[in-house]
Structure 1
Amino acid sequence: MSFQERFNGLELPASADFHVHLRDGTMMETVTPTIRKGGVDTVYVMPNLVPPLTTPAQSLSYKSRLEAIDPSVTYLMSLYLHPSITPEIIREAKAAGITGVKSYPAGVTTNSAAGVVSYEAFYPVFEEMERQNMILNLHGEKPSGEDITVLNAEERFLPTLKEIHKRFPKLRIILEHCTTAAALKTVMECGPTVAGTITAHHLFLTVDDWASDPFCFCKPVAKLPSDREALLKAAAANSPKIFLGTDSAPHPATAKRGGADGKGKTVAGVFTQPYATQLAVGAFEKAIEKGWLKDNEVTVDVVRGFLGENGRKFYGVPQSESRIVLRKGEEKVVEAFASKGGELEVVPFRRGEPTWSVEWK
């Protein structure tokens, strides 16, 4: 029985996406309604707004704005690791129901200028997070410079992950958006309190794709075909340490095409939110067709685990009682999503390509 025959019409729990960017203002209003289109009912929301979310009050205010747009989604909130974050703020955040803290090395990606320069300064914060059972989410890249580029920035960061884990072995840590075999190896070598997320787009892409298409460009960048194969194998291994975090990152289409400011620079980010589940399923299907995975490696349990069950267990949130149904018909990824007033256009990943569909029960 083919992959399509096995999965077409399959009922699954709603997916959970443990890494999303929903922005603010008009962009927030445009992309938040697309969460459930992607078969997702639970999202872990990134705090890198402008200015970043560094207090519980700011995070809860943002959550209220999101809930006003779509109250049927569960929004797990985070703070931005910043010099103003103290152990006292961590205690307040835990009491307020905030799930974790996201770390961005200074300057490595979109809205990261206020990020971390030295992790040692935050050891008292990590100690309190460990005590409060909060999650530390790491954007695992070193800033470019000297012999560090976008191609080795992730691998150069891995000793930092190991050092934080060694000093705080009970701290739950997630290495976000793993892109290399080396990153996956490191995650698996760490203890059970360390996990890694994989995006939907990195299951498709290699360096050649983003080198020729700005809508495939993100940070960390996609790497070699061997790294893509390692990601697919990790996603199919059904490990409790590996699960979906799309890093869906919407930008105005003009900014992805080089900007309206005439500078010609492309912003980092791939928008996958409306097709989160569909893309992951499609990546498994393509991997089998290409021979990167064997048909019997992608079971229903594998898909359920990667799309939400493993992540929910790691985060300690309930499994979903909502159900979705996978369909494979004639649907194609739309060319763009527009704001209500038409002033903003966001182009999704694999625009115009055939895609799986999701129905809610």
Structure 2
Amino acid sequence: MQKHITQITLIKPDDWHLHVRSGAALKSIVGMTAAQMGRAIIMPNLNPPVSNATQAHAYRQEILSALPKDSEFNPLMVLYLTDNTTPKDIQEALDNNVVAAKLYPAGATTNSDNGVTNITKLYPTLAYMQKLGMPLLLHGEVTRSDVDIFDREAVFIDEILSQVVHDFPELKIVFEHITTKEAVDFVLASHDKIAATITPHHLLANRNDMLVGGIKPHYFCLPILKRKNPHQSALLAAATSGNAKFFLGTDSAPHATTDKESACGCAGIFTAHCAIELYATVFERQNALHKLENFASKFGADFYNLPHNTQTITLHKQDWVIPANYPFANSTIVPFMATKTLSWKQLD
């Protein structure tokens, strides 16, 4: 058992999977991430998507202008892949400091209708990414109607990801927001160019939390929450294992309360309000607080060949209640674990 710990100081973490939206919504929430994270991989699924270097540059400037004064937060931009993305697009993106490219299967999640319909159409582009060393970020689900929503990730591994890894052995791949034991096992069995991010909500919740006692729309996300066993348990073991293949990626995905609490509620869970405190809760429960800094602050940077941050943050053992909601543009947003008590709090 770990000794009783009342304070933790960490190298400032990074979020390797983040949605911050745009406009007034962006201004409402980006400061929460900037207070905790040194950098973040910014998801490009806006409407329209960030599918070329010019759009990526403009989006980065919008984020920088929305940050609190004197913030040193560094948004890392990503190109949205479509069936028509070319090697030339990749080169232009790399020349403009875009750090990775994101593949959404068409229709897989929010604003993914312009995503990829067949990954083989992108093989020349993937070959060029492999040559340049640009990572491929994957939303790992198939979207065929004949596949059960709880099986989409496992089928994606069998039908698509295994073949891509075989065909592009030097391509860096981040299997994002993994949710299943099959995904954990695949990453563990793969070579060291294959890594994965794990969200706080998939570590702290399972499908019972979403469905038992009534449908909880603020627990609805894609990939959807899975069973406690074997899936959530496998994620917990992977995240706290100390294996450098697994690192922090919140997939914090804000939606207005009215868009979640509707007849067709949006997919996405908002965790940016206390992301590192949520992860600390997980690691403490697993008697692995001594492994949190590697997961949160080192492994992701190492995979992307970036230096570790030089700043630090400090978490204090302190009970506090997560607010029922936060302002969000001209509406509100309900955060993950709203009205519940956490026992870790970042010191200002």
TM score, norm. by length of structure 1: 0.91
Question: Is it true that 1:359 corresponds to 2:324 in the alignment?
Answer: no
The 8 Å contact of residues 83 and 117 in structure 2, kept in 1 or not, is answered as no
Residue 12 of structure 2 aligns to which amino acid in structure 1?
Answer: A
Provide runs of 4+ in structure 1 moved above 2 Å: none
Residue 116 of structure 1 aligns to which amino acid in structure 2?
Answer: V
Corresponding residue for residue 241 of structure 1 = 245
Corresponding residue for residue 297 of structure 2 = 308
Instruction: Give the unaligned 5+ runs of structure 1.
Output: 259-263
Corresponding residue for residue 222 of structure 1 = 225
Q: Which among 318, 331, 337 is matched to residue 344 of structure 1?
A: 331
Per-residue deviation, 1:163: 0.9
Secondary structure of the equivalent of 1:90?
helix
The 8 Å contact of residues 104 and 115 in structure 2, kept in 1 or not, is answered as yes
Corresponding residue for residue 261 of structure 1 = none
What is the rounded CA distance, in whole Å, between the counterparts of 1:231 and 1:319 in structure 2?
24
What is the rounded CA distance, in whole Å, between the counterparts of 2:8 and 2:101 in structure 1?
35
Question: Is it true that 1:56 corresponds to 2:53 in the alignment?
Answer: yes
What is the rounded CA distance, in whole Å, between the counterparts of 1:266 and 1:16 in structure 2?
29
What is the rounded CA distance, in whole Å, between the counterparts of 1:144 and 1:168 in structure 2?
24
What is the rounded CA distance, in whole Å, between the counterparts of 2:74 and 2:44 in structure 1?
16
Question: Is it true that 1:67 corresponds to 2:64 in the alignment?
Answer: yes
Secondary structure of the equivalent of 1:93?
helix
What is the rounded CA distance, in whole Å, between the counterparts of 1:134 and 1:53 in structure 2?
17
What is the rounded CA distance, in whole Å, between the counterparts of 2:132 and 2:144 in structure 1?
33
Corresponding residue for residue 195 of structure 1 = 195
Corresponding residue for residue 268 of structure 1 = 267
The 8 Å contact of residues 83 and 118 in structure 2, kept in 1 or not, is answered as no
Corresponding residue for residue 120 of structure 2 = 120
Secondary structure of the equivalent of 1:53?
coil
Secondary structure of the equivalent of 2:321?
coil
Per-residue deviation, 1:299: 4.4
Q: Which among 13, 17, 20 is matched to residue 18 of structure 2?
A: 20
The 8 Å contact of residues 40 and 276 in structure 1, kept in 2 or not, is answered as no
Secondary structure of the equivalent of 1:197?
strand
Per-residue deviation, 1:84: 3.1
Higher deviation after alignment, 80-89 or 59-68: 80-89
Instruction: Give the unaligned 5+ runs of structure 2.
Output: none
What is the rounded CA distance, in whole Å, between the counterparts of 2:330 and 2:95 in structure 1?
39
What is the rounded CA distance, in whole Å, between the counterparts of 1:282 and 1:332 in structure 2?
14
Deviations 1:22-63 (A, max 9, x none): 0111111111111134x2121000000000011101001100
Secondary structure of the equivalent of 1:152?
helix
Question: Is it true that 1:103 corresponds to 2:92 in the alignment?
Answer: no
Deviations 1:273-317 (A, max 9, x none): 1211000111223xx3xxxx4x3xx142x1011112100100111
What is the rounded CA distance, in whole Å, between the counterparts of 1:24 and 1:174 in structure 2?
24
What is the rounded CA distance, in whole Å, between the counterparts of 1:158 and 1:201 in structure 2?
22
Secondary structure of the equivalent of 1:178?
coil
What is the rounded CA distance, in whole Å, between the counterparts of 2:253 and 2:266 in structure 1?
10
Q: Which among 209, 213, 216 is matched to residue 213 of structure 1?
A: 216
Corresponding residue for residue 130 of structure 2 = 130
Deviations 1:191-235 (A, max 9, x none): 111101100110011111122211011000111112111101001
Corresponding residue for residue 280 of structure 2 = 281
Aligned CA distance change for structure 1 residues 252 and 299 (closer, same or farther; 3 Å):
closer
What is the rounded CA distance, in whole Å, between the counterparts of 2:299 and 2:219 in structure 1?
27
Per-residue deviation, 1:333: 1.2
The 8 Å contact of residues 162 and 190 in structure 1, kept in 2 or not, is answered as no
The 8 Å contact of residues 7 and 314 in structure 2, kept in 1 or not, is answered as yes
Higher deviation after alignment, 323-332 or 234-243: 323-332
- Percent sequence identity over aligned pairs: 32
